[in-house]
Structure 1
Amino acid sequence: MLSQNLNLFNRHFCRICLSQRRLLSQTQSRSSKYCESAFDAVRDVKDGSSCMFGGFGLCGIPENLINALRKKGPRNLTAISNNCGVTDFGLGILLMNKQIKRMIASYVGENKELERAFLAGELELELNPQGTLAERIRSAGAGIPAFYTPTGYGTLIQEGGAPIKYKLGGGEVEIASVPKESKTFDGKNYVMEKALSADFAFIKGYKADYAGNVIFRKSTRNFNLPMAKAARHTIVEVEEIVDIGALPPDSVHLPAVYVDKVLKGERFEKRIERKTVSDPENETKVASSDRDELRMRIIKRAAREFQDGMYANLGIGIPALASNFIPKGMNVTLHSENGLLGSGPFPVPGMEDADLINAAKETITILPGGSYFSSDESFAMVRGNHIQLTMLGALQVSQYGDLANWMIPGKMVKGMGGAMDLVSATQGRVVITMEHTSKGVHKILDECTLPLTGKNVVDTIVTEKCVFKVDKEQGLLLKEIWPTISIEEIKESTGCDFQVDSDNLAEMLQ
């Protein structure tokens, strides 16, 4: 009797499966989410629409959708993206075509036209700390209207006054940011940030099925993943579309419920912004100029701040180079805020991958045991105090550890990127690597004169002349000095008073 019941059940189950397969086959051919072309996918975008664009630099950007918007021509767009591509690729082509009215971003980067247009008063630019931008977007997708974050407290982000638009011709600020509500929790100050949604999200995935389930590849998750959940209409372009059921459910990164339209991109250039390859000879070569020698001195000394088992984040420029001098046998896991843990060396020539970059937008590799994730997840690691060391460059540092490194009002604006989030973590150490002066002008001061990245956040300053430890109340303590430099020379090149650790003052070794 039991055998007969099992046979009946198996036959019935097979009929159900066959019926479902036929239904899926019919659904695939007439899926309401499938678009035949990128132009068809963007047809509902109108003048004045707000649009999110996934990607980090040029990695993981929706190329075909951006090109379609360029041809369709909607104006006065509010574009939300980590940055604005470059002048002739990515979002840069919408900017050059005067289609963007306001840019909400974290980093200006190397887009000279964006910086020029902003400083000339031709464009509104609302800069957000990168982690705050990611969390504002994530919160919108999760139905959370606002949240508190330590990032930006004591800076223009919280106090208001950051320029959003200059008057035409530049110079005078026409629109400035407004102060934000703050609150203290357990003795620590926080800033309230509001969720950020948009009319449309344009997303780049790697593979999707006709139902709209999406898989991303390597470091392309970045802002694509949270943005796909935060807009009223989400449109995803992918390199490959497969039948419903072909994607293993446990491999899906973005469930279909978030996706309104999906299309297979016609063409992907996948341009690499900074193609960087391994060159073992140059990584350890002797400096070829006096300035190279000074920078190498800073880099090698900074590398002594690493500790075994540490998770560390290295900023662009001098800090990033310190990874070449991690002592042999020491295990340091490098975190990159665009969604990578376990960064390895640059790839060998010919093995560059446009879908695998670091926060400097350089081609990179990943070490065994590494992982990929989205930008909101990356900054949860930072704010949650899971990163033990942050190494950054600086324009200015104050005697009490204030840091300025993201803009010179009216002259230069690069954006804060992830720096504000990285320095706000309370349990991680912040090490600044920089040249002691800039063209003879002091960079270490009583008070920073430039807009702050963080207040009382720096723990150690490494320059070519010395090493300062920073006490947030007592000020600077000189701990190490380069053998050929005197304390008097350091006093002359430092724009504030400092104490000397006379009993333990050491030579600055490499």
Structure 2
Amino acid sequence: MPSKRKVWDSVDEAVKDVKSGDTLLVGGFGLAGLPDTLLQALIKRGEVTDLTGVSNNAGTPGHGLGLLLDAGKMGKVVASYPGGNKTFESKYLKGEISLELVPQGTLAERIRAHAAGIPAFYTPTGANTAIESGSIPQRYQPGGASKGVLIPGIKKEAREINGRRYVLEPAIPGDVAFVRAWKVDEVGNCVFRYAAHNFSAVMAKNARLTIVEAENIVPAGAISPNAIHLPGIYVDRIVRATAPKEIEYVTLAKTGNEAPLDTAKAAKQDQRHKIARRAAREIKDGFYVNLGWMQSENGIWAWAVSNEKELDADLINAGKETVTLLPGASVFDSSESFAMIRGGHVDVSILGALQVSQAGDIANFMIPGKMLKGIGGAMDLVSNPDKTKVIVLTEHTAKDGSPKILAECSLPLTGARTVSQIITELCAFDVDRANGGLTLVDLQDGVTLEEVRAKTGCDFKVRE
């Protein structure tokens, strides 16, 4: 029976065993669940440098890995969506910091695997992409991409299993884990709240030293055993959370009283609504849909845009926007979320794209040497196209007027032969993934076949 009280009165003392060169696992998604109390204490320790920070994203100024980045504490980041932090993006593109870019679901599973004693595993996510070939540099030479690559990407072993291609992903060991929990008892049993669960539990299980900052500390026995998300066996130290919770993007339901948009913004909104209305025709009653109104891959089923009275820092979607839960909703951690996706339990996955090919290849996460947002969950979302229909919603052309629908993608692929349908403001295409070809199935109102042909970068058939 657990009896050791793990609560530390001083957060500064609690982080004293973090040392230079450690791999630090940092829970959180966006600003939800970030252990900023612990990170603020760590940056006071001037002697600690050259950390490898492992987190879903690279934080923001003053939050998450952003605190360590601004303090010059990190030599490398392992993340799925680091480019949201412009400081990090700039440093990476200039060759000032290293990056291992990992698909979001793979990141969660690599962390979970090491905690479970599994050295590596095969996954379809990233097969036939830059993840498999290792063509995303870990670090550019000082001065950036034009100067060459200092540390090349990591090539992955691949093999065919039952007719599908898989890549071998190694587990990620952690030296120290920082996580934030809503309620923790004095022996370390933890409860996470809503979307603040994300990566926290899998990270807490996977470090030689796990420190939890708790919003509420309660006596042992005060939490129902049925309510515990993380057993205390994984927790070494507990401190009281003092850093306030903040919201990154406040998004509210329309009330009808909003100021009118200017002409350009109104036209852009109408275009998006036109695409969305066409996409809605593909959704059937009872479908489970990712990136529609149903699933958000950071760990929510059944959400809607919140109103001002419902704003909650622990309730955000994958875009880090505020949401509310619908009747029948459920919440879960990132590992569970991506198991649903990779396993083909989701009926439809909807994504945007920089480019799409006539064979159903999709590119949507980076422009080498120029722009790095990150993979996020996109590679996982397209990893099982035989069971999950992948629909791309995109503008037909790029800002410079060049086609986004091409014979072949020139940018790094998110997935190969994964897209089954493309919907734009001009038309809808069905994709023959097996043979590599497009069929125009309908035109948007007021659009001609000649306009579609002129703005599409490949040949296509027309359904009779």
Pair in the same fold by TM > 0.5: yes
Counterpart residue number, 2:160: 184
Cα distance in 2 between the residues matched to 1:221 and 1:121: 33
1:460 aligns with 2:393: no
* 2:306 aligned to which of 337, 347, 357: 347
The alignment covers a number of residue pairs equal to 455
Higher helix share: 1
Counterpart residue number, 2:460: 498
Counterpart residue number, 1:361: 320
RMSD of aligned Cα (Å): 1.6
Give the conservation status (yes or no) of the 8 Å contact 1:87–1:112: no
Letter in 2 for 1:351: E
Give the conservation status (yes or no) of the 8 Å contact 2:181–2:212: yes
Cα distance in 2 between the residues matched to 1:367 and 1:500: 41
Cα distance in 2 between the residues matched to 1:268 and 1:130: 26
1:370 aligns with 2:329: yes
Give the conservation status (yes or no) of the 8 Å contact 2:192–2:229: yes
> Would the alpha carbon gap of residues 463 and 215 (structure 1) be closer, same or farther in structure 2, given more than 3 Å must change?
same
Aligned residue for 1:437, secondary structure, equals: coil
1:165 aligns with 2:165: no
Aligned residue for 2:205, secondary structure, equals: helix
For 1:339-488, what aligned pairs fall within 5 Å after superposition? 339-343=299-303, 345-425=304-384, 426-438=386-398, 439-472=400-433, 473-488=435-450
Cα distance in 1 between the residues matched to 2:188 and 2:141: 44
For 1:51-66, what aligned pairs fall within 5 Å after superposition? 51-66=24-39
Aligned residue for 1:163, secondary structure, equals: coil
Cα shift readout 1:435-464 (whole Å, capped 9, x = no counterpart): 000121111111100000000000110001
Cα distance in 1 between the residues matched to 2:140 and 2:367: 14
Q: CA deviation at 1:286?
A: 9.4
Cα distance in 1 between the residues matched to 2:53 and 2:190: 23
Cα distance in 2 between the residues matched to 1:55 and 1:161: 28
Letter in 2 for 1:34: V
Give the conservation status (yes or no) of the 8 Å contact 1:287–1:296: no
Aligned residue for 2:339, secondary structure, equals: helix
* 1:306 aligned to which of 283, 291, 312: 283
Cα distance in 2 between the residues matched to 1:282 and 1:383: 41
Cα shift readout 1:73-130 (whole Å, capped 9, x = no counterpart): 3111000000011123222121011111100000024211011010011110111000
Cα distance in 2 between the residues matched to 1:307 and 1:129: 29
Counterpart residue number, 2:186: 210
1:244 aligns with 2:220: yes
Cα distance in 1 between the residues matched to 2:252 and 2:415: 33
Give the conservation status (yes or no) of the 8 Å contact 1:432–1:461: yes
Counterpart residue number, 1:277: 252
Query: Structure 2 regions of 5+ residues with no counterpart?
Result: none
Cα shift readout 1:438-497 (whole Å, capped 9, x = no counterpart): 121111111100000000000110001110000011400000112322212111111111
Cα distance in 2 between the residues matched to 1:483 and 1:91: 47
Letter in 2 for 1:480: D
Aligned residue for 1:82, secondary structure, equals: coil
Cα distance in 2 between the residues matched to 1:249 and 1:178: 42
Query: Structure 1 regions of 5+ residues with no counterpart?
Result: 1-19, 315-319, 324-333, 504-510
TM-score by length of 1: 0.87
Give the conservation status (yes or no) of the 8 Å contact 2:57–2:84: no
Give the conservation status (yes or no) of the 8 Å contact 2:201–2:230: yes
Counterpart residue number, 1:144: 118
Give the conservation status (yes or no) of the 8 Å contact 2:310–2:324: no
Aligned residue for 1:139, secondary structure, equals: helix
Letter in 2 for 1:356: L
> Would the alpha carbon gap of residues 210 and 483 (structure 1) be closer, same or farther in structure 2, given more than 3 Å must change?
closer
Cα distance in 2 between the residues matched to 1:89 and 1:178: 29
Q: CA deviation at 1:37?
A: 1.7
Residue range with higher mean Cα deviation, 477-486 or 149-158: 477-486
Give the conservation status (yes or no) of the 8 Å contact 1:294–1:464: yes
1:198 aligns with 2:183: no
Give the conservation status (yes or no) of the 8 Å contact 2:360–2:436: no
Give the conservation status (yes or no) of the 8 Å contact 1:476–1:498: yes
> Would the alpha carbon gap of residues 99 and 468 (structure 1) be closer, same or farther in structure 2, given more than 3 Å must change?
same
Letter in 1 for 2:402: V
Counterpart residue number, 1:75: 49
TM-score by length of 2: 0.95
> Would the alpha carbon gap of residues 286 and 166 (structure 1) be closer, same or farther in structure 2, given more than 3 Å must change?
closer
Counterpart residue number, 1:261: 237
Cα distance in 2 between the residues matched to 1:282 and 1:394: 32
Give the conservation status (yes or no) of the 8 Å contact 1:85–1:92: yes
Higher radius of gyration, 1 or 2: 1
Give the conservation status (yes or no) of the 8 Å contact 2:342–2:381: yes
Give the conservation status (yes or no) of the 8 Å contact 2:26–2:64: no
Counterpart residue number, 2:17: 44
Aligned residue for 2:12, secondary structure, equals: helix
Q: CA deviation at 1:50?
A: 0.8
Q: CA deviation at 1:178?
A: 2.6
Letter in 2 for 1:38: V
Q: CA deviation at 1:292?
A: 2.5
Aligned residue for 1:442, secondary structure, equals: coil
